[in-house]
Amino acid sequence: MANPLFDALFGRHAGSAALFLIRADGVTISYAEFIARTARFAHALTIRGLRPGDRVAVQIEKSPDALALYAAAVQCGAVFLPLNTAYTPSELAYFVENSGAALFVCAPGKAEALAAMAERADARLDTLGVAGDGTLAEAADDQPDTFPTVARTEDDLAAFLYTSGTTGRSKGAMMSQGNLLSNARTLAELWRFSDRDVLLHALPIYHTHGLFVATNVVALTGGAMIFLPKFDIDSMIGWMPKATALMGVPTFYTRLLDDPRFDRDLTRHMRLFVSGSAPLLADTHRQFEARTGHRILERYGMTETGMNTSNPYEGDRRAGTVGPPLPDVEVRVTAPGTEDSLPPGEIGDVEVRGPNVFQGYWQMAEKTAEDLRPDGFFRTGDLGRFDADGYLTIVGRSKDLIISGGFNIYPKEVEFILDAQPGIRESAVIGVPHPDLGESVLAVLVPEQGTAPDIPAIEAAVGAALARFKQPRRYEVRAELPRNTMGKVQKNVLRDAYRDAFAT
């Protein structure tokens, strides 16, 4: 029976001896072996009572089994909800409860700490480790290696991805099979992927970039992936001669450039370097080309839409821009508060329409109506401008989103923690340029009169409440925050004041 996403990405490779995954230890997994493992997981999910449309929330380390669990969820019609491995129990509780997840899967070592949270959310708890261990892996081991794929349509949901808002309340972006499949097809063609490609994959797979861009594009085209658990400079350099492509965040490229082993000879087998998830500095573009002879291809996407624009595979890849819209995607820059498109050169709100745009926010009809216009355009919250040749440049974010090392950070969530600390009257969290991470988090604290902030205690409180990537890397103390005539904090003034805080 038809299941568009599974059939296109995985089903078509059933029985194929072609190479799919190469682990960091050199062990290889064929498409046939991977799809057989996927089937066993699909059986394990259905034995646990999962039905089409049920949500499967996972916080597990990257591994072939973790990827097979994603494929299994698609095959049995479940909705896959990947969660950052750095999230704390208090953060996880919201995602699992709000999504109504029927099953929560975590690493074996975290089961005891997360059992009460799963029970409160009325979600079954299973575990999955990186070595084929865990209760879900054990359940899958004894299952058949084929599974009757559940019928789905392109309109059926395939994934939830949570993205925080400036109010601090996270929103579950509902992605359909058609959303994910359209993006994979477009990118595969645009970036010239084929079954001859070997992607050096060091991205996390709880994120759009690593899962729905990198993995989906490779699976769609029948290529292979060198599947590294994380970015490690020695592993990256050691495996690069075996690869043809790399998808990464700006941090990958700055750290590679810091290593003298990374040179033109090492990259001579490569045909494509893609960067996204955070702004890439123009200086990094220039250094990279000078060192390797390759020009990085930068693109623009977001949780709710997948990819929207891309610099061309053939043609001018312009540093500082994210390229023209994808062939099946419309992008417009509008005057704030209107639907009037602005001419090239003028900055306005970036809006997107196409088959990649999500279905709305889970259980947030008002927010969905606010961000999805009746004509289908999605208001991204980003500010940008087109040049005369149709290349888009993202110049800022109207909602003060911080993107550090490829991860989204929303200031209000951090400010809630800071404002609750003893002796703190108010705070403002901003993103400022960082040579390695693209942006990093800086917190400005205003103490109660006559007091001095206890920075180590504040750091400890923030560390207990938030994932590491959200925590400020620097704290500044001021007597007051700059405000406009309406009393609103002027974060642009703060960003200007501290823009060189992480300069090297």
Question: Which residues fall within 8 angstroms of residue 226, CB to CB, at 6 or more apart?
Answer: 22, 24, 198, 199, 200, 201, 239, 242, 243
Flag whether 315 is in a domain.
yes
Say whether both 385 and 410 belong to one domain: no
Task: Return the SS3 of 420.
Answer: coil
CB count within 10 Å of CB 161 equals 23
Using pLDDT thresholds of 50, 70 and 90, give the confidence band for residue 166. very low
- Residue 32's Cβ-side half-sphere holds a number of Cα atoms within 13 Å equal to 4
**Tokens standing for residue 358:** 């999500």
- Any idea how long the chain is? 504
Using pLDDT thresholds of 50, 70 and 90, give the confidence band for residue 485. very low
Flag whether 165 is in a domain.
no
Distance CA 181, CA 103 (A): 25
Check residue 415 and give its pLDDT: 86
Domain hosting residue 75, numbered range:
4-152
At 147-157, the pLDDT tens digits run 999 999 999 99
Check residue 488 and give its pLDDT: 61
What is the residue-averaged pLDDT of the chain?
A: 93
HEC letters along 122-158: CCEEEECCCCCCCHHHHHHHCCCCCCCCCCCCCCCEE
Task: Give the residue-averaged pLDDT of 460-475.
Answer: 95
Prediction pTM value: 0.83
Report phi then psi at 497, rounded to 5. Answer: -70, -35
Phi-psi bin for 503: left (phi > 0), alpha (psi -120 to 50), beta? beta
Say whether both 111 and 18 belong to one domain: yes
Say whether both 116 and 29 belong to one domain: yes
pLDDT at 484 over 70: no
Using pLDDT thresholds of 50, 70 and 90, give the confidence band for residue 165. very low
Distance CA 462, CA 458 (A): 6
Share of the chain above pLDDT 90, in %: 81
Q: Which helix (H) or strand (E) holds 104?
A: strand 103-106
Flag whether 10 is in a domain.
yes
Say whether both 353 and 227 belong to one domain: yes
At 401-435, the pLDDT tens digits run 788 898 878 777 788 899 889 999 889 999 999 99
Looking at 344, 374, 397, the residue that finishes a domain is 397
Amino acid at 158: A
Check residue 81 and give its pLDDT: 98
Report in angstroms the alpha-carbon separations of 358 from 169, 354, 380: 18, 9, 12
Say whether both 459 and 379 belong to one domain: no
At 345-380, the pLDDT tens digits run 998 899 999 999 999 999 999 999 999 999 999 999
Task: Give the residue-averaged pLDDT of 464-480.
Answer: 94
Share of the chain above pLDDT 70, in %: 97
At 243-270, the pLDDT tens digits run 999 999 888 998 999 999 999 999 999 9
Distance CA 138, CA 126 (A): 10
Flag whether 91 is in a domain.
yes
User: How many structural domains comprise the chain?
Assistant: 3
Query: Looking at residue 257, which CATH number applies to its domain?
Result: 3.40.50.12780
Looking at 397, 419, 438, the residue that finishes a domain is 397
Say whether both 326 and 426 belong to one domain: no
Strand segments (E) across 191-283: 198-201, 224-227, 245-248, 272-275
At 211-238, the pLDDT tens digits run 999 999 999 999 999 999 999 999 999 9
Buried (b) or exposed (e) across 36-58, using 16+ Cβ within 10 A? bbbbbbbbbbbeeebeeebbbbb
**Tokens standing for residue 419:** 């404002």
Q: Which helix (H) or strand (E) holds 458?
A: helix 455-465
